[in-house]
């Protein structure tokens, strides 16, 4: 499993040097883009194929504060995939202490450029197989 690393920037923090909670959602997107790129089916590839994957739900449980100059390692894995919806889980771990900072999830659907729901098995069988394989492997 590939691990995405994010180095906390000053602008992501408040006056006390603590990361604002909204940034965790941005980091999830960074890690998701990295995860899909590593699978060989990044957002740029999907969109060129006419596949758009909007977020339909997001959840984040904050466990520990993260501070400026810290590094957060983000593990992404597929929780479920049914051909129409993809649910991803994220573990955000402070690199130095290896403590869990946040546990999160996001759910995505697949649509075409007109907003019509796509079934990936028909629209893009190779991506469908890749997601199914990743579910079986637990990555």
Catalytic residues: 14
Q: Which two tokens stand for residue 95?
A: 């690199």
Residue (of 75, 96, 68, 84) closest to 28 by Cα position: 75
């Amino acid at each position: 499993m590939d691990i995405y690393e994010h180095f906390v920037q000053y602008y992501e923090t408040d006056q006390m040097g603590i990361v604002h909670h909204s940034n965790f959602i941005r980091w999830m997107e960074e890690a998701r883009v990295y995860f899909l790129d590593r699978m060989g089916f990044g957002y740029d590839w999907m969109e060129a194929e006419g596949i758009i994957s909007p977020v339909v739900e997001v959840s984040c449980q904050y466990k520990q504060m993260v501070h400026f100059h810290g590094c957060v390692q983000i593990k992404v894995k597929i929780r479920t995939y049914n051909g129409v919806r993809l649910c991803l889980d994220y573990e955000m771990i402070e690199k130095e202490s290896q403590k869990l900072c946040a546990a999160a999830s996001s759910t995505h659907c697949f649509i075409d450029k007109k907003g019509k729901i796509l079934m990936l098995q028909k629209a893009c069988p190779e991506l469908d197989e890749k997601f199914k394989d990743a579910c079986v492997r637990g990555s």
